Structure 1
Amino acid sequence: MWAAAQDWVAHVGGMRVARVSRDSIATFLRAPEDTTTMSGTVTRQPLNDGSYQLVARFECGNREPSCASLETSGVNLFNTMVSAAGEGSDR
Protein backbone atom coordinates (compact mmCIF):
# COMPACT_ATOMS: atom_id res chain seq x y z
CA MET A 1 0.00 0.00 0.00
CA TRP A 2 2.95 2.33 0.58
CA ALA A 3 3.95 2.06 -3.09
CA ALA A 4 0.34 2.73 -4.13
CA ALA A 5 0.29 5.75 -1.80
CA GLN A 6 3.28 7.22 -3.63
CA ASP A 7 1.50 6.83 -6.97
CA TRP A 8 -1.89 8.07 -5.82
CA VAL A 9 -0.73 11.14 -3.88
CA ALA A 10 0.87 12.35 -7.12
CA HIS A 11 -2.08 11.33 -9.28
CA VAL A 12 -4.80 12.88 -7.10
CA GLY A 13 -3.00 16.17 -6.58
CA GLY A 14 -1.49 16.44 -10.04
CA MET A 15 1.97 17.11 -8.57
CA ARG A 16 5.06 14.88 -8.74
CA VAL A 17 6.43 13.31 -5.58
CA ALA A 18 9.29 15.38 -4.20
CA ARG A 19 10.28 13.37 -1.14
CA VAL A 20 9.72 9.89 0.28
CA SER A 21 10.95 8.79 3.69
CA ARG A 22 10.13 5.78 5.81
CA ASP A 23 7.07 7.50 7.29
CA SER A 24 6.08 10.28 4.90
CA ILE A 25 5.53 11.19 1.28
CA ALA A 26 5.30 14.77 -0.01
CA THR A 27 4.67 16.17 -3.44
CA PHE A 28 6.23 19.34 -4.76
CA LEU A 29 4.38 22.46 -3.68
CA ARG A 30 1.92 23.87 -6.16
CA ALA A 31 2.52 27.33 -7.56
CA PRO A 32 0.22 29.91 -5.91
CA GLU A 33 -1.33 30.89 -9.23
CA ASP A 34 -1.98 27.26 -10.27
CA THR A 35 -5.63 26.40 -9.71
CA THR A 36 -5.47 22.94 -11.30
CA THR A 37 -3.27 21.07 -8.80
CA MET A 38 -3.02 20.30 -5.09
CA SER A 39 0.04 19.68 -2.97
CA GLY A 40 -0.19 16.41 -1.10
CA THR A 41 1.33 14.69 1.89
CA VAL A 42 0.91 11.21 3.31
CA THR A 43 2.09 10.08 6.72
CA ARG A 44 2.35 6.52 7.98
CA GLN A 45 1.12 6.45 11.57
CA PRO A 46 1.55 3.38 13.79
CA LEU A 47 -1.47 1.83 15.51
CA ASN A 48 -1.53 -0.01 18.85
CA ASP A 49 -1.89 -3.41 17.17
CA GLY A 50 1.41 -3.06 15.31
CA SER A 51 -0.17 -2.11 11.98
CA TYR A 52 -0.28 1.40 10.62
CA GLN A 53 -2.65 3.80 8.94
CA LEU A 54 -1.93 6.13 6.05
CA VAL A 55 -3.17 9.67 6.51
CA ALA A 56 -3.37 11.86 3.41
CA ARG A 57 -3.77 15.60 3.19
CA PHE A 58 -4.19 17.75 0.10
CA GLU A 59 -4.00 21.53 -0.20
CA CYS A 60 -5.29 23.59 -3.09
CA GLY A 61 -4.10 26.85 -1.64
CA ASN A 62 -7.08 28.99 -0.74
CA ARG A 63 -9.81 28.97 1.85
CA GLU A 64 -12.81 29.12 -0.47
CA PRO A 65 -15.51 26.49 0.19
CA SER A 66 -14.86 24.94 -3.22
CA CYS A 67 -11.20 24.46 -2.31
CA ALA A 68 -12.06 22.74 0.97
CA SER A 69 -14.47 20.48 -0.89
CA LEU A 70 -11.78 19.63 -3.44
CA GLU A 71 -9.29 18.80 -0.69
CA THR A 72 -11.83 16.48 0.98
CA SER A 73 -12.61 14.82 -2.35
CA GLY A 74 -8.88 14.30 -2.92
CA VAL A 75 -8.48 12.56 0.42
CA ASN A 76 -11.53 10.38 -0.25
CA LEU A 77 -10.26 9.37 -3.70
CA PHE A 78 -6.78 8.67 -2.32
CA ASN A 79 -8.21 6.50 0.47
CA THR A 80 -10.41 4.56 -1.95
CA MET A 81 -7.63 3.86 -4.44
CA VAL A 82 -4.95 2.95 -1.88
CA SER A 83 -7.40 0.71 -0.01
CA ALA A 84 -8.26 -1.03 -3.28
CA ALA A 85 -4.55 -1.57 -3.96
CA GLY A 86 -4.17 -3.07 -0.47
CA GLU A 87 -7.10 -5.43 -1.01
CA GLY A 88 -5.59 -6.57 -4.30
CA SER A 89 -2.30 -7.48 -2.60
CA ASP A 90 -4.01 -9.82 -0.12
CA ARG A 91 -5.10 -12.26 -2.81
Structure 2
Amino acid sequence: MFRNGLEPWHIAVMVVVLVLLFGSKKLPEMARGLGKSMRILKAETKALREDDAPAETANATAASQAEPVRPAVEPIVVTKVAEATKPTTA
Protein backbone atom coordinates (compact mmCIF):
# COMPACT_ATOMS: atom_id res chain seq x y z
CA MET A 1 0.00 0.00 0.00
CA PHE A 2 2.73 2.51 1.04
CA ARG A 3 5.53 0.97 -0.95
CA ASN A 4 6.85 4.31 -2.20
CA GLY A 5 5.59 6.57 0.57
CA LEU A 6 7.72 9.63 -0.19
CA GLU A 7 8.41 10.30 -3.82
CA PRO A 8 10.04 13.43 -5.28
CA TRP A 9 6.71 14.96 -6.29
CA HIS A 10 5.50 14.64 -2.67
CA ILE A 11 8.45 16.73 -1.51
CA ALA A 12 7.80 19.33 -4.23
CA VAL A 13 4.16 19.67 -3.15
CA MET A 14 5.21 20.04 0.50
CA VAL A 15 7.72 22.78 -0.39
CA VAL A 16 5.10 24.69 -2.40
CA VAL A 17 2.58 24.45 0.45
CA LEU A 18 5.15 25.65 2.99
CA VAL A 19 6.14 28.63 0.82
CA LEU A 20 2.49 29.56 0.35
CA LEU A 21 1.73 29.25 4.08
CA PHE A 22 4.74 30.98 5.57
CA GLY A 23 6.26 32.99 2.77
CA SER A 24 9.78 32.81 1.39
CA LYS A 25 11.17 35.32 3.91
CA LYS A 26 9.92 33.49 6.98
CA LEU A 27 11.19 29.99 6.04
CA PRO A 28 14.96 30.69 6.45
CA GLU A 29 14.30 32.23 9.87
CA MET A 30 12.29 29.19 10.90
CA ALA A 31 15.05 26.86 9.66
CA ARG A 32 17.68 28.80 11.66
CA GLY A 33 15.51 28.64 14.76
CA LEU A 34 15.01 24.90 14.32
CA GLY A 35 18.76 24.42 13.85
CA LYS A 36 19.54 26.36 17.04
CA SER A 37 16.95 24.36 18.96
CA MET A 38 18.44 21.10 17.74
CA ARG A 39 21.97 22.20 18.76
CA ILE A 40 20.76 23.19 22.22
CA LEU A 41 18.93 19.87 22.61
CA LYS A 42 22.03 17.96 21.52
CA ALA A 43 24.26 19.87 23.94
CA GLU A 44 21.85 19.33 26.85
CA THR A 45 21.51 15.59 26.23
CA LYS A 46 25.30 15.30 26.01
CA ALA A 47 25.66 17.17 29.31
CA LEU A 48 23.09 14.89 30.95
CA ARG A 49 24.95 11.79 29.77
CA GLU A 50 28.25 13.17 31.09
CA ASP A 51 26.66 14.03 34.43
CA ASP A 52 25.13 10.56 34.78
CA ALA A 53 28.28 8.61 33.90
CA PRO A 54 30.49 9.86 36.79
CA ALA A 55 27.60 9.56 39.24
CA GLU A 56 27.03 5.92 38.28
CA THR A 57 30.69 5.01 38.67
CA ALA A 58 30.92 6.90 41.97
CA ASN A 59 27.84 5.07 43.27
CA ALA A 60 29.24 1.72 42.20
CA THR A 61 32.57 2.47 43.91
CA ALA A 62 30.88 3.69 47.09
CA ALA A 63 28.59 0.67 47.17
CA SER A 64 31.51 -1.74 46.82
CA GLN A 65 33.43 -0.05 49.65
CA ALA A 66 30.48 0.41 52.01
CA GLU A 67 29.74 -1.88 54.93
CA PRO A 68 26.96 -4.41 54.53
CA VAL A 69 23.58 -3.02 55.47
CA ARG A 70 22.31 -4.26 58.81
CA PRO A 71 18.61 -4.62 59.47
CA ALA A 72 16.99 -2.01 61.68
CA VAL A 73 15.56 -4.70 63.96
CA GLU A 74 17.55 -7.77 64.91
CA PRO A 75 15.63 -10.98 64.19
CA ILE A 76 14.44 -12.96 67.19
CA VAL A 77 15.18 -16.67 67.23
CA VAL A 78 12.27 -18.66 68.58
CA THR A 79 12.78 -22.24 69.73
CA LYS A 80 10.10 -24.61 70.81
CA VAL A 81 10.30 -26.30 74.14
CA ALA A 82 10.50 -30.06 73.89
CA GLU A 83 7.38 -32.06 74.71
CA ALA A 84 9.29 -33.92 77.44
CA THR A 85 9.47 -30.89 79.69
CA LYS A 86 5.71 -30.44 79.87
CA PRO A 87 4.11 -31.87 82.99
CA THR A 88 1.97 -34.85 82.23
CA THR A 89 -1.19 -35.70 84.08
CA ALA A 90 -1.59 -39.36 84.81
Give TM-score scaled by structure 2 length: 0.32
Greater fraction of residues in strand: 1
Give TM-score scaled by structure 1 length: 0.31
Larger RCO (alpha carbons 8 Å, 6+ apart): 1
Greater fraction of residues in helix: 2
The structure with the largest alpha-carbon Rg is 2
